[in-house]
Amino acid sequence: MSDRLYSSYSLYKNYNTPTLSAKSIARFDEEVWIPARFNDSMKCLEIGSGTGIFLLYLSSKGIEDLKGIDHDENLQNVQPDQVKDKFENVDVWKYLSTESEETFDRIILFDVLEHFVPEEAFQLILKLKSKLSNNGKIIVKVPNMSSPWGINYQFGDLTHKTGFNSESLRQLGIACNLQVDKIYDQRVGSRRRVFTSALLHKFLSWALLTPPPFWGANLYCIYSAKLEP
């Protein structure tokens, strides 16, 4: 069933070559670059890099040593020209099974972990941990299943297998012996919409007996390797 769903994934997602707007750059700056403390001398790997929008962003920030992998062969033809040579069409397990000692300063997984069952997600993060350089970090983004706004993201794709919230992201980090640096909402929309959403969530948090710790439809989590004693 899963193979059938993925074979039609390009039609479902309607892949197109992305362009990078000033608005997108500002959003990635706020959501990822600043919180995860990127700099242009870093070596980066993106798992499930899709159409290449974040690879294009990293390139625009001056990062030259970057790589993106994705298992969908239909993505090869939509990669932006600037990062075509940074993309590899390969299954993540096959990629990680090589004996390469290559390490990365930042490893990115946006909208990826939810495509795996919990044991696979654990094994994936554990393997990626071994690919981290000193002071390396893993940045993930998943639908937030503690929030009612995350339901559409989680159940709008039949290839999603596991739902995450802030607690299960912490549990995953602990299981992999990773430090959870930060968990935070993805905030989208205009300033006015972000402001009104914050007011609504503040009221709901007051009104409900057990409000979620985060209201955003999607969550970011930043992991870093713990220093050995």
CA terminus-to-terminus distance, the chain: 46
Q: Which pLDDT does position 11 carry in this prediction? A: 86
Angle between helix 166-175 and helix 118-129 axes, rounded to 10 deg: 50
Block residue for tokens 């040593």: 65
- How far is Cα 19 from Cα 39, in angstroms, rounded to an integer? 22
Mapped onto helix, strand or coil, the DSSP state of residue 180 is strand
Mean pLDDT of 83-110: 94
- Taken in order 123, 124, 127, 130, is the CA torsion positive or negative? negative
Pair of tokens at residue 115? 């495509």
Mean pLDDT of 181-210: 90
Model confidence pLDDT, tens digit, residues 1-53: 467 788 888 888 899 999 999 999 999 999 999 999 999 999 999 999 999 99
pLDDT at 227 over 60: no
- How far is Cα 169 from Cα 118, in angstroms, rounded to an integer? 11
pLDDT at 228 over 60: no
Q: Which pLDDT does position 170 carry in this prediction? A: 97
| Strand positions, DSSP E, 120-200 | 132-143, 178-185
If pLDDT is split at 50, 70 and 90, which confidence band does 100 have? confident
Pair of tokens at residue 17? 């070559």
Domains, the chain = 2-225 (3.40.50.150)
pLDDT at 229 over 50: no
Q: By CB neighbour count within 10 A (0-12 exposed, 13-18 middle, 19+ buried), where does 36 fall?
A: buried
Enumerate residues 6+ apart whose C-beta is below 8 A from 116.
124, 161, 162
Mapped onto helix, strand or coil, the DSSP state of residue 13 is helix
pLDDT at 204 over 50: yes
Q: Which pLDDT does position 10 carry in this prediction? A: 87
Model confidence pLDDT, tens digit, residues 128-179: 999 999 999 999 999 999 999 999 999 999 999 999 999 999 999 999 999 9
Pair of tokens at residue 141? 């983004």
Share of residues in the chain with pLDDT > 90 (%) = 85
Enumerate residues 6+ apart whose C-beta is below 8 A from 50.
70, 75, 110, 111
Mean pLDDT of 73-88: 96
Q: Within a 13 Å sphere around the CA of 218, how many CA atoms are in the beta-carbon half?
A: 17
What average pLDDT is seen over the chain?
A: 93
- How far is Cα 155 from Cα 8, in angstroms, rounded to an integer? 17
